[in-house]
Structure 1
Amino acid sequence: MPDLAAIVIHCRDPYLLAPFWSMVTGLPVVEDDRAKLADGSLGPTEAVLLRDPSGHRPDVWISPADDLPSSGRIHLDLVGDAEERAAVLAAGATVVRELPRWTVLADPEGNQFCLLPRTEAHADALLPGH
């Protein structure tokens, strides 16, 4: 089986979404991209790389795209406790809907993702098509 190497999140504004997804995933922006974000020097098609320094988690690329569908650009399932949920909301996420076993949230550009409580993450909560 192939290993998952990276997740790509297409967006309109990498300056907005790179810091958001860095905070939400806990993956730091790589040094070169952090400098470009700080001085506004990203090229028009240049992606921003979020990378786990230990190399244990997949990379996340925040990549600008001209044509974005209204849904389906990404879908991540994240696991977190109440404090982490509050931090995600404080970073700019919004609640789309509350379900019995998880919450559907949206990032600042409307990409939806799910947040499951830690107790559900190892249960059968990850159902196809949610």
Structure 2
Amino acid sequence: MPDLAAIVIHCRDPYLLAPFWSAVSGLPVVDEDRAKLADRTLGPTEAVLLRDPHGRRPDLWISPTGDLPAPGRIHLDLVGDAEERAAVLEAGATVVRELPRWTVLADPEGNEFCLLPPHEAHAAEPSPGH
């Protein structure tokens, strides 16, 4: 079975979403892209790479595009406790709806993702949106 190498999140504004997803995922923006974000010098179709420096997790690409499908360009299920939930909300996420076993959130551009508590991570069936 192939390994998962990367996840791509299509967006309108990589300057907005790259810092958000870096904070939420814990994956740092690579040095070259961090400088381009700071200087606002990304090309119109240039993606931003978030990479685990230890190579243990898949890369995360924040890729601008002019044609975005509705309702979202991705759907991720994340696992986090109450403290991590607070950090995700502080980073800019909004609560879309509370469900009995998880919470549906949205990033600053409206991409929905789910946050499952640690005890639900392996017991839960796929969340809505899959």
TM-score band w.r.t. shorter chain: over 0.9
Match of 1:58 in 2: 58
Matched, 1:31 2:44: no
2:10 is paired with a residue of what secondary structure? strand
Which amino acid in the other structure matches residue 12 of structure 1?
R
Distance change >3 Å, CA 3–CA 113, structure 1 → 2: same
Q: What secondary structure is seen at the aligned counterpart in 1 of 2:78?
A: strand
TM-score norm. by structure 2 comes to 0.96
1:126 equivalent in structure 2? 125
Matched residue, 1:115: 115
Between the aligned partners of 2:32 and 2:128, the Cα distance in structure 1 is 37
Partner of 1:89: 89
Identity %: 83
- What is the distance in 1 between the residues matched to 2:100 and 2:68? 30
Q: Tell me which amino acid in the other structure corresponds to 1:127.
A: P
Deviation at 1:126, TM superposition (A): 3.2
With normalisation by structure 1, the TM-score equals 0.96
Root-mean-square deviation (CA, aligned residues, Å) is 1.0
Superposed displacement of residue 129, structure 1? 4.8
Structure 1 counterpart of 2:106: 106
1:67 corresponding residue in structure 2: 67
In the alignment, the residues of structure 2 paired with residue 79 and residue 110 of structure 1 have an alpha-carbon distance, to the nearest angstrom, of: 19
Secondary structure, counterpart of 1:37 in structure 2: helix
The residue type paired with residue 36 of structure 2 is K
Instruction: Return 40-49 or 69-78, whichever deviates more.
Output: 69-78
- When residues 129 and 91 of structure 1 are mapped into structure 2, their CA distance, relative to the original with a 3 A threshold, is closer
Q: State the one-letter code of the partner of 1:17.
A: L
- Give the unaligned 5+ runs of structure 2: none
Runs (5+) with no aligned partner, structure 1: none
Paired residues in the alignment total 129
2:102–2:116 contact (8 Å) kept in structure 1: yes
Spell out the pairing of 1:10-25 with structure 2 (5 A cutoff). 10-25=10-25
Deviations 1:5-31 (A, max 9, x none): 000000000000000000000000000
Separation of aligned partners in 1, 2:60 and 2:51: 7
